[in-house]
Amino acid sequence: MTRINTHTNILNHLKKVISLSESEEQEFTSILEEIKVSKKNFIIKPGDLVNSEYYVVSGCLEAYYLDESGDKHIIQFAVEDWWISDFEAFFNKLPAKLYVETIEDSILLGINRDALEVLYSRIPQFERFFRIKTTSAFVSLRTRILSTLQKSGKERYLEFCEAYPKIEQRVPNYHIANYLGLKPESLSRIRKEVI
* Residue count, binding to its own copies (CB under 8 A): 29
Minimum distance of its own copies from residue 58's CB (angstroms) = 25
Residue 115 or 188: the one with the smaller Cβ distance to its own copies is 115
Q: How many helices (H) and strands (E) does the chain have?
A: 9, 8
Pairing relation of β-strands 83-84 and 99-102? Answer: unpaired
Minimum distance of its own copies from residue 118's CB (angstroms) = 14
Q: According to the binding rule CB under 8 A, does residue 65 interact with its own copies? A: yes
Minimum distance of its own copies from residue 97's CB (angstroms) = 6
Sign of CA dihedral 50, 53, 58, 59: positive
Q: Edge-to-edge strand order for the sheet containing 52-58?
A: 32-37, 106-112, 52-58, 83-84
Residue 34 or 155: the one with the smaller Cβ distance to its own copies is 155
Q: According to the binding rule CB under 8 A, does residue 22 interact with its own copies? A: no
DSSP letters, 105-121, are: -EEEEEEEHHHHHHHHH
Of residues 119 through 158, those in contact with its own copies by CB under 8 A are 120, 124, 127-128, 130-131, 134-139, 141-143, 145-146, 149-150
Burial (Cβ within 10 Å: 0-12, 13-18, ≥19) of residue 113: middle
> In 82-160, which ranges are E strands?
83-84, 99-102, 106-112
Residue 53 or 157: the one with the smaller Cβ distance to its own copies is 53
Are 89 and 34 in contact by the 8 Å Cβ rule? The answer is no
Residue 110 or 181: the one with the smaller Cβ distance to its own copies is 181
Q: According to the binding rule CB under 8 A, does residue 95 interact with its own copies? A: no
Binding site for its own copies (CB under 8 A): 65, 67-68, 73, 75, 87-88, 91-92, 97, 120, 124, 127-128, 130-131, 134-139, 141-143, 145-146, 149-150
